[in-house]
Amino acid sequence: MNDRNPSEILRSGKPVHLIGIGGVSMRALAKMLRRQGVNVRGSDRESSIYTLQLDELGIPVAIGHRPDNLRDAALVIRTAAIRDNNPEIQAARAAGIPIISRAEAWGILMRDYPKAVCVAGTHGKTSTTAMIATFTQAAQLDPTVMVGGDLPSIGGTLRIGKSGLFVAEACEYQNSFHAFSPTVAVILNIDRDHLDFFKDTDDIIASFHQFALRTPKEGAVLLNGEDENCRLAAQGLDRRVVTFGFSPNCQVRGENIALKDGFPCCDVTRDGKFYCRMTLSVPGRHNLLNALAAAGVAMELEVPPQQFAEGMAAYKGVGRRFELIRTWRGARVYDDYAHHPNEIEATLKAAKELNPRRVICVFQPHTYSRTVSLLDDFAAALSHADQVLLCPIFAAREANVFGISSQDLACRIPGAEAADDFAQVAARLSQLVQPGDLIFTMGAGDVNKIGRMLED
């Protein structure tokens, strides 16, 4: 056996160490590896309910990053958030232990599946992956699923099925999805984002083009036919391309759109031929577009129309995506992961379709680089709310070398207010709230804590 080959190490029974094991995708990976008999353990910066759950499953988790955590590890798997100066990374390199990314590990596992549906795009990946997971279960395809949010129907972020179908969310950050091996590649949209890594929009488009090329010659690439950047990414592809959308030139098309009890529905056609009438249980035109992508996948998997429609009606959403948290003083409090201007606009427009008295948006900008590069776009998107409260910027992996703050964003939104901390936001909401309001906590950081801080 090649003791430097990650694929062979994963099948050898030798210890594998995951740095940042408490993260969403990493803990799912740990469980998947454990189920396959891999001797897996890991470390994380701090203890959480997730690290405790891993311990209970027999996956040891060391709290804090230290060289001695590696012990006899034969392979190290890291997340994108783990930097080269991490003491465990440095120790692994000094000891000659192979290091691979989380995405590379998922890619290795994916190769064991004859069918792999990988869902990519700047927005909507988690929701669309969850939709596909839901209807493939309804169709009794028994999929293995890896999704970036908590999906109630699979009890979390991972489902291990017994069939040859793998359904996975595919992230473009740091070109992670180039490690995947899709037989069906879905591209929902391509927008300017992650500009701390990508040089410009052309660089992002080129990355998605390379992702599409990961499909085999007999595979398929499903892409948004209304998105110009998606069309540019498809140029020169020698793969079968299927477009979805509402426009007449799209192959998988939504027609006769209507609202039923505030939720969207439409006819789904393929090349003008009726497939099914689809009614969703989640709001918003953006979700209807995501559902058309899911319909394209269903057709590739030869799922009968009725089973697909029933599965889509059963989809109730995923954690932190238009998630109803509570009712408070006669107002509904929702939480949403939206952290890009297009996501924010789509979510706020969907909220308005529920006919609330007012939409109050509590937004936590995510990363300084994104806030700087899209400042005016954020202002335009947030202006769809009736009242905006801004939290301090969530730093994530960055230092504030830009001198940017939430106050810079507040100045561009009429009536917006910037708070110093979550307690100040909660106190202001107590002053503002009225029965019939719809309150959103929004962002990719920890803004969701606010909904549980509100006192009756």
In a structure prediction context, what are the per-residue pLDDT tens digits for the chain, which is 456 residues long?
Answer: 456 799 999 989 899 999 999 988 899 999 999 999 999 999 999 999 999 999 999 999 999 999 999 999 999 999 888 999 999 999 999 999 999 999 999 999 999 999 999 999 999 999 999 999 999 999 999 999 999 989 999 999 999 999 999 999 999 999 999 999 999 999 999 999 988 899 999 999 999 999 999 999 999 999 999 999 999 999 999 999 999 999 999 999 999 999 888 899 999 999 999 999 999 999 999 999 999 999 999 999 999 999 999 999 999 999 889 999 999 999 999 999 999 999 999 999 999 988 999 999 999 999 999 999 999 999 999 999 999 999 999 998 899 999 999 999 999 999 999 999 999 999 999 999 999 999 999 999 999 999 999 987
How far is Cα 227 from Cα 174, in angstroms, rounded to an integer? 22
Helix ranges (H only) for 187-334 are: 201-212, 228-234, 285-300, 305-314
Which residues are within 8 A (CB) of 96 and not within 5 positions of it... i.e. 6 or more apart? none
Q: Which pLDDT does position 6 carry in this prediction?
A: 94
How far is Cα 61 from Cα 23, in angstroms, rounded to an integer? 12
Integer-rounded Cα Rg, in Å, for the chain is: 22
From residue 200, give the alpha-carbon distance in Å to each of 125, 194, 207, 252, 274.
21, 9, 11, 30, 40
Amino acid sitting at position 318: V
Active site residues: 125-126, 169
Q: Which pLDDT does position 62 carry in this prediction?
A: 97
DSSP 3-state of 40: strand
Which residues are within 8 A (CB) of 431 and not within 5 positions of it... i.e. 6 or more apart? none
CA-based angle 107:41:29, to the nearest 5? 30
pTM: 0.89
Which residues are within 8 A (CB) of 227 and not within 5 positions of it... i.e. 6 or more apart? 189, 190
How buried is 41 (Cβ within 10 angstroms: 0-12 exposed, 13-18 middle, 19+ buried)?
buried
Pairing of the two strands 144-151 and 156-159: antiparallel
Q: Which pLDDT does position 11 carry in this prediction?
A: 87
Please, what are the domains in the chain?
6-100 (3.40.50.720), 113-314 (3.40.1190.10), 323-452 (3.90.190.20)
CA-based angle 121:123:126, to the nearest 5? 90
How far is Cα 277 from Cα 160, in angstroms, rounded to an integer? 30
From residue 49, give the alpha-carbon distance in Å to each of 23, 361, 422.
11, 28, 22
pLDDT digits (tens, 9 = 90+) for 405-434: 999 999 999 999 999 999 999 999 999 999
What token pair was written down for 388?
């905006």
Q: Which pLDDT does position 281 carry in this prediction?
A: 95
How far is Cα 375 from Cα 371, in angstroms, rounded to an integer? 5
pLDDT digits (tens, 9 = 90+) for 320-371: 899 999 999 999 999 999 999 999 999 999 999 889 999 999 999 999 999 9
Q: Which pLDDT does position 216 carry in this prediction?
A: 96
CA-based angle 25:448:436, to the nearest 5? 135
Q: Which residue has the tokens 């990719």?
A: 444
Buried-state track 412-433, b at ≥16 Cβ within 10 A, e below 16: ebeebbbbeebeebbebbeeeb
What token pair was written down for 121?
């795009």
Q: Which pLDDT does position 1 carry in this prediction?
A: 44
Helix ranges (H only) for 235-385 are: 285-300, 305-314, 341-352, 368-373, 375-382
Q: Which pLDDT does position 3 carry in this prediction?
A: 63
